[in-house]
Amino acid sequence: MKSIIQDEKRCYFCGSSVGLEEHHIYMNSLRNISERNGFKVWLCYRCHRDNRYGVHGNRVMDLELKRKCQEVFEKSHTRQEWFDLIGRNYLEE
């Protein structure tokens, strides 16, 4: 997996190295953009899909990943390039 955020294969949130799953930060119609650009992180099952705790059910965690992704992307790209890909600015929310 190519990620612009992570170099190490560990859960982004808890640091676990057990039962890791690839999480696309932008899903649905933006999933292919996530795949092509490395907008992905490793998450353990609990931090990924647990209904009470995981990123899919936790808007705070979801927004944290979206902001981090944009922040890292904009270190080597413009805000306009980001907006052309994602269509939304997460850093000013």
Other C-beta atoms closer than 10 Å to the C-beta of 49 total 15
Would the pTM of this model clear 0.75, i.e. be above it?
A: yes
Question: Does residue 50 belong to any structural domain of this protein?
Answer: yes
Length of the chain: 93
Other C-beta atoms closer than 10 Å to the C-beta of 46 total 16
**Per-residue pLDDT in tens (0 to 9) along the chain, 93 residues:** 799 999 999 999 999 999 999 999 999 999 999 999 999 999 999 999 988 899 999 999 999 999 999 999 999 999 999 999 999 999 986
Question: Does residue 35 belong to any structural domain of this protein?
Answer: yes
Question: Does residue 15 belong to any structural domain of this protein?
Answer: no
Question: Does residue 45 belong to any structural domain of this protein?
Answer: yes
Question: Does residue 91 belong to any structural domain of this protein?
Answer: no
Domain of residue 59, residue span: 20-86
Question: Does residue 58 belong to any structural domain of this protein?
Answer: yes
